[in-house]
Structure 1
Amino acid sequence: MTDLQIAKKVNLKPITEIAEKLGIDPDLIEMYGKNKAKIPLSLINNAKAKASHLVLVSAISPTPAGEGKTTISIGLSEALNRLKKKTTVVLREPSLGPVFGIKGGATGGGYAQVLPLEDINLHFTGDFSAIEKANNLLSAIIDNNIQSKTNSLGIDPRTITWKRVFDVNDRALRNIVIGLGGTTSGIPRETGFDITAASEIMAILCIAKDLNDLKKRLGNIFIGYTFSNQPVYAKDLKVAGAMASLLQHAIKPNLVQTIEGNPAIIHGGPFANIAQGTNSVIATLMGMTFSDYTITEAGFGCDLGAEKFFDIKCQSANISPKAVVLTTTIRALKYHGGADLKSLKTPNVEALENGLPNLEKHIENILQFGVTPVIAINRFETDTTEEIESIKDFAKAKNIRVAVADVWAKGGEGAIELAQHVIEIVETSKSKFKPLYQWDNDVESKIETIAQKIYGADHVEYTSNAKRQLKRIKKLGLDNLAICVAKTEKSLSDDPKLLGRPKGFNITVREIEIASGAGFLIPITGDIMRMPGLPAHPASEGIDISDSGEISGLF
């Protein structure tokens, strides 16, 4: 059966029942139909949150075959609830770009899903639309100020870094010219569109602690420079209040349910190769307020999502994870070991063992943060006993816990062993989380620390453009921000072709973007796509809706 067919078999509980199960008075939630709701921020209790056990689900370097972090996250939460541990899974919202493009939805799979999957994967509660509107309002205000003769800040159009956003993959919008049509239609300039998940507004929403913090961060967005070389921020355009007003509902986390009727909170969706790649601080704290265990995930591999989760989100929100589940698949290890995509379903212990160094490096990375990992083997029907035993032997030699998780086929039942390992780590381990660097270190040392300790690079090189930007950043007094490296997710290096555990390489920073509202700097390495294109046959070709309103082809 497909994910959608499995989901259709489930009788969803009213969201009021899910709220009660979580410990929230149903009268306090804001209903969006019968099966989803917004949770007011006033319910967050930081003292209670401190007592919750936060568990991060990450993965080895991703492959085209997919590793299934979301599915593992959901299955683990189901298993912990089966073991009488009050648990909430907290996830990111899907972007329409992948839904209509090549990846499909992002609500888990099989018997480890969050529901209602059609709503979550399409417009959900309108958060992405609100972010898009707030982003594009700022764009409109910028161009209006350039056009104005009486209210101009003297912005140099050549220095504007802010782009418009749109939540559909559309390569034709990457680089455009606006303002054509004469003197009444604006000042012509080059710009472009990013996908909505890549907007700094998304990153801000997911790092803000409350509405006041959101508004302050929106005002701190860096726009560009004036003709007199003075920096311009969104607050100079007096637009932060209007932007925050558009986000007044989007800032509230969304409550839905798992396939087994347990609470799930879904909120925000920044990409992990250009932003922090994890759900909102607010959603995480909400889950921690009402749960003994809070399961969350971070995008792509540990070198991106987990590192940013630790060094950006945890430092900003003052939260500490108690354990990390390191998702891996046998087919991914074989891919990192040199097997081609067509042969991943064929037993190949040699290729698997050649790929184990990638897993080894991610284990080392987690341990650097003082947190204990457990390997979750996301099981597929083509996996052989010999291949599974090879990973277990590797884990035993490294003194690392490991469990086979068959959550797609069995839901929470398939993650009981994994859940037991997590409980033992949390309740008996002496793990003590520590970030990799301090924000007040100088920019170059922060970048070098990440490159050398997490990626395994020998050295960091800077283009002449990046060196100029470093000087500007220091002059602006923004060198005490966190570092959010934009890098390919396909490799530990900045070269997507270097699989496994590459060695003897350098990281090249070609430019450094300022995301002062979000609170980090973005060193750009390699070619990072912020507006994806559609494949020759996009997933949208198979999506349809019947006369009765039944959606098909979403998965």
Structure 2
Amino acid sequence: MAKSDIEIAREATMQPITEIGSKLGIPADQVLQYGPYKGKLSFDFINSLDSKPDGKLILVTAITPTPAGEGKTTTTVGLGDGLNRIGKKAAICLREPSQGPCFGMKGGAAGGGYAQVVPMEDINLHFTGDFHAIGIAHNLLSALIDNHIYWGNELGIDLRRVSWRRVVDMNDRSLRSIVSSLGGVSNGFPREDGFDIVVASEVMAIFCLAKDLNDLTERLSRIVVAQRRDKSPVTAGDLMAPGPMAVLLKDAISPNLVQTLENNPAFIHGGPFANIAHGCNSVIATRTALKLADYVVTEAGFGADLGAEKFFDIKCRKAGLKPAAAVVVATIRALKMHGGVAKENLGQENVEAVKKGCSNLARHLANVKSFGVPVVVAINRFSADTDAEVAAVQEVAKTQGAKAILCNHWAEGSKGTEELAHEVVRVVDSQTANFSPIYPDDMPLWDKVKTIATRLYGASDIIADKAVRNRFKELEDMGYGDLPVCMAKTQYSFSTDPNLKGAPSGHVVPVRELRLSAGAGFVVAICGEIMTMPGLPRVPSAHNIKLDANGQIEGLF
């Protein structure tokens, strides 16, 4: 019987975090330790790196997600270990997991098998307290809004137009829509309110795009929390909130350093939603890693149509990053599902279904290359995969000018990604990336959304009702027209219908709503039902998580 992820992680021989830091040239006294195996880097040290050259940035993304799984995080860890195995100085950068999925249905996000980051239990639970700090900073702003209204509402906030909700890092559907301030005059003015999960907070998105504490504070001040009766915006700066919010975040904003099972350095910092936000780890962690390592492997949420696009068009654009290559992760199982095979039949060889499903892979490869970034395919191996099925994927990748490498990091660790590591190095060394976002800053917001929908999703057009079209113009008139757009749609299809697998084309993308994230610096185009406060399933993972007789955690995955 195969060992569980937590069993494998528990058997790991971890090195003191100062030793992990020394592999990147970080002095021991610049690692702020959270116990023996976790640490944060001091900003004095981070600031001392400014004059150093950058390493090569490699993005790990994937085909469109399916219930069969793809394994982006596992591949990111495996590739980082593989690069170190072949003698390269490499580090990985990941998002911090939310506790919501850990106790819900999806589980943790620290990799799997023999390609994990550790200490796995800490990373998936409270870690270094970053999410707690972000949640408290967010809720402080919520409290200041209602307090301002209670004490006379000098800013003239329209209670019907307060857009800033509250957050908690847990799946709890009962909090999605609430009425606050009940209980009489002393408790304030009752109004409709609600909670989102912490990773959906704009504070999280700001945290992950800020360059330093000053930039963080400035971005916090630009958050639009409400409107007056004339629809003019009220900001966090108007409420004098950024100062105390930044104080709450001053330690959290330092990047976290941990290690892989093979004792290679890993930065895990920040974790914004991949739909209403950009779904990438912090800019601070990525830029720090680039100064310390020759190769930095990072990932972006969901498939390449959402994750890679936002990584390129939002994170790289705003942070001035220049990715050298991208790895698109695929599994034979997922490609079969895109080819029309039901989940219960995935264990049977079906080369024709793989070929049909590869239409999804082919479009993702073409999309990534359209940003000027060379690409490699990582086939995340499962035991039921056959040689003929693997060959079919390799042939399709070849037609797109990419090599598909069979990877076995889940079972073998870095040994299973040696070939992938060599191919990534070859691509980075032999092909010069000519990275460029797919739309310019000065393009109208409507045309930015249309460009993404038609060029990347295969859509024929976008549509919106008159109120939404007016909102496009309103945001441009307010001075937000130069912001990038953050597409919020289902992650399960190129279209807005999660049941349309493969590579649908000719569909129309409806834009239902526009939301301004002024502090983060993007406009969210909502193109479907977006859940910012998930619920727990009928049988949540929490039912299986407990302490054993020795006080060790069981059931976490």
TM over 0.5: yes
State whether structure 2 residue 402 is matched by structure 1 residue 400.
yes
Structure 1 counterpart of 2:98: 95
Structure 1 counterpart of 2:311: 309
2:66 to 63, 66, 74: 63
- Judge which range, 106-115 or 225-234, deviates more: 225-234
Q: Is the 8 A contact 1:49 1:286 kept in 2?
A: no
List aligned pairs for 1:31-70, cutoff 5 A: 31-44=33-46, 50-70=53-73
* Whole-Å separation in 2 of the counterparts to 1:50 and 1:490: 38
* Whole-Å separation in 1 of the counterparts to 2:426 and 2:35: 39
- Judge which range, 372-381 or 339-348, deviates more: 339-348
Structure 1 counterpart of 2:218: 216
Report the alpha carbon displacement of residue 59 of structure 1 after superposing the two structures with TM: 0.2
SS in 2 for 1:158: strand
Structure 2 counterpart of 1:526: 528
* Whole-Å separation in 2 of the counterparts to 1:97 and 1:448: 33
Report the alpha carbon displacement of residue 5 of structure 1 after superposing the two structures with TM: 1.1
Q: Is the 8 A contact 1:107 1:117 kept in 2?
A: yes
- The amino acid that maps onto 2:246 is A
List aligned pairs for 1:143-222, cutoff 5 A: 143-149=146-152, 152-222=154-224
* Whole-Å separation in 2 of the counterparts to 1:445 and 1:504: 17
SS in 1 for 2:139: helix
- The amino acid that maps onto 1:98 is P
List aligned pairs for 1:291-302, cutoff 5 A: 291-302=293-304
1:14 to 13, 16, 19: 16
Q: Deviations over 1:121-176 (max 9, x none)?
A: 00000000001001111111111111112x52110011111110111101111111
Query: Could you list the runs of 5+ residues in structure 1 that have no partner in the other structure?
Result: none
Structure 1 counterpart of 2:463: 461
Report the alpha carbon displacement of residue 401 of structure 1 after superposing the two structures with TM: 1.2
* Whole-Å separation in 2 of the counterparts to 1:230 and 1:434: 35
* Whole-Å separation in 2 of the counterparts to 1:280 and 1:49: 19
Report the alpha carbon displacement of residue 89 of structure 1 after superposing the two structures with TM: 0.5
State whether structure 2 residue 108 is matched by structure 1 residue 105.
yes
Report the alpha carbon displacement of residue 179 of structure 1 after superposing the two structures with TM: 1.4
State whether structure 2 residue 223 is matched by structure 1 residue 241.
no
* Whole-Å separation in 2 of the counterparts to 1:403 and 1:43: 38
Structure 2 counterpart of 1:75: 78
Report the alpha carbon displacement of residue 207 of structure 1 after superposing the two structures with TM: 0.2
2:327 to 319, 325, 328: 325
- Judge which range, 456-465 or 93-102, deviates more: 456-465
SS in 1 for 2:257: strand
Structure 2 counterpart of 1:537: 539
List aligned pairs for 1:372-411, cutoff 5 A: 372-411=374-413
Report the alpha carbon displacement of residue 456 of structure 1 after superposing the two structures with TM: 1.1
- CA shift in 2, pair 1:469/1:397, >3 Å: closer
- The amino acid that maps onto 1:404 is L
SS in 2 for 1:409: helix
Structure 2 counterpart of 1:504: 506
SS in 2 for 1:130: helix
Question: Taking structure 1 as the reference length, what is the TM-score of the superposition?
Answer: 0.98
How many residues are treated as equivalent by the alignment?
Answer: 554
- Judge which range, 345-354 or 361-370, deviates more: 345-354
- The amino acid that maps onto 2:160 is R
Q: Deviations over 1:372-410 (max 9, x none)?
A: 110000001111111111111222233311101100001
SS in 2 for 1:485: strand
Query: Could you list the runs of 5+ residues in structure 2 that have no partner in the other structure?
Result: none
* Whole-Å separation in 1 of the counterparts to 2:459 and 2:49: 38
Q: Is the 8 A contact 1:486 1:525 kept in 2?
A: yes
Structure 2 counterpart of 1:116: 119
- The amino acid that maps onto 2:386 is T
SS in 2 for 1:190: strand
Q: Is the 8 A contact 1:322 1:371 kept in 2?
A: yes
Q: Deviations over 1:227-273 (max 9, x none)?
A: 24321110000010010110011111100000000100000001111
Structure 2 counterpart of 1:341: 343
Q: CA RMSD in A?
A: 1.2
Q: Is the 8 A contact 1:49 1:288 kept in 2?
A: no
Q: Is the 8 A contact 1:276 1:313 kept in 2?
A: yes
List aligned pairs for 1:354-373, cutoff 5 A: 354-373=356-375
- The amino acid that maps onto 2:113 is G
Structure 1 counterpart of 2:416: 414
Report the alpha carbon displacement of residue 87 of structure 1 after superposing the two structures with TM: 0.2
- Judge which range, 115-124 or 10-19, deviates more: 10-19
Q: Is the 8 A contact 2:468 2:512 kept in 1?
A: yes
* Whole-Å separation in 2 of the counterparts to 1:423 and 1:361: 24
Report the alpha carbon displacement of residue 361 of structure 1 after superposing the two structures with TM: 0.5
Q: Is the 8 A contact 2:324 2:432 kept in 1?
A: no
- CA shift in 2, pair 1:509/1:549, >3 Å: same
* Whole-Å separation in 2 of the counterparts to 1:295 and 1:545: 34
- The amino acid that maps onto 2:76 is S
- The amino acid that maps onto 1:480 is D
* Whole-Å separation in 2 of the counterparts to 1:135 and 1:333: 40
- Runs of 4+, deviation exceeding 6 Å: none
Structure 2 counterpart of 1:477: 479
- The amino acid that maps onto 2:316 is C
* Whole-Å separation in 2 of the counterparts to 1:111 and 1:178: 47
Structure 1 counterpart of 2:262: 260
Report the alpha carbon displacement of residue 463 of structure 1 after superposing the two structures with TM: 2.1
* Whole-Å separation in 2 of the counterparts to 1:322 and 1:463: 40
Report the alpha carbon displacement of residue 182 of structure 1 after superposing the two structures with TM: 1.3
Identity value in percent: 51
Q: Is the 8 A contact 2:323 2:433 kept in 1?
A: no
Report the alpha carbon displacement of residue 440 of structure 1 after superposing the two structures with TM: 2.2
- CA shift in 2, pair 1:49/1:375, >3 Å: farther
- The amino acid that maps onto 1:246 is L
Q: Is the 8 A contact 1:91 1:266 kept in 2?
A: yes
Report the alpha carbon displacement of residue 471 of structure 1 after superposing the two structures with TM: 2.9
Question: Taking structure 2 as the reference length, what is the TM-score of the superposition?
Answer: 0.98
- The amino acid that maps onto 1:139 is S
SS in 1 for 2:307: helix
Q: Is the 8 A contact 1:114 1:257 kept in 2?
A: yes
Q: Deviations over 1:411-440 (max 9, x none)?
A: 011001101110011111122111111222
